[in-house]
Amino acid sequence: MIYLDHNATTPVDPDVFAAMAPYLSRAYGNPSSGYPLGRAARNAVETARSQVAGLLGCKPEEIVFTSGGTESNNTILKGVARTYRKRGKHILTTAIEHPAVTQPCLFLMEQGYDTTFVHVDCDCRINAADVQQAIRKETILISVMHANNETGVIQPIEEIGKTARREGILLHTDAAQSAGKIPVDVSKMHVDFASIAGHKLYAPKGVGAFYMREGIHIEPLMHGAGQESGRRAGTESVALAVALGTACDLAAKRLMEDVHRILLLRDRLYELLAAKIPELTINGDPESRLPNTLNVSFPHVDGARLLDAVPEIAASTGAACHDRSVTLSPVLAAMNVSKEIGRGAVRLTLGRENSTEEIDKAAEMIIAAYAQLRS
Residues involved in catalysis: 321
Q: Rounded to whole angstroms, how far apart are CA atoms 119 and 139?
A: 17
Contact at 8 Å (CB) between 351 and 262?
A: yes
Q: Output b/e per residue, 93-121; b: 16+ Cβ within 10 A.
A: bbbbbbebbbebbeebeeeebebbbbebe
- In the chain, the N- to C-terminal Cα span, in Å, equals 26
Q: Rounded to whole angstroms, how far apart are CA atoms 172 and 232?
A: 18
256-to-5, 196, 250 alpha-carbon distances in Å: 21, 19, 11
Contact at 8 Å (CB) between 269 and 359?
A: yes
Q: Rounded to whole angstroms, how far apart are CA atoms 172 and 157?
A: 9
Q: Rounded to whole angstroms, how far apart are CA atoms 315 and 292?
A: 13
Contact at 8 Å (CB) between 270 and 363?
A: no
Q: Give SS3 for 199.
A: helix
Enclosing H/E stretch for 281: strand 281-282
Q: Rounded to whole angstroms, how far apart are CA atoms 351 and 359?
A: 11
Angle formed by the axes of helices 356-374 and 238-276, to 10°? 50
Calculate the CA 364 to chain-centre distance: 29
Single out the residue of 85, 134, 133, 132 nearest to residue 113, CA to CA. 85
Q: Rounded to whole angstroms, how far apart are CA atoms 155 and 159?
A: 9
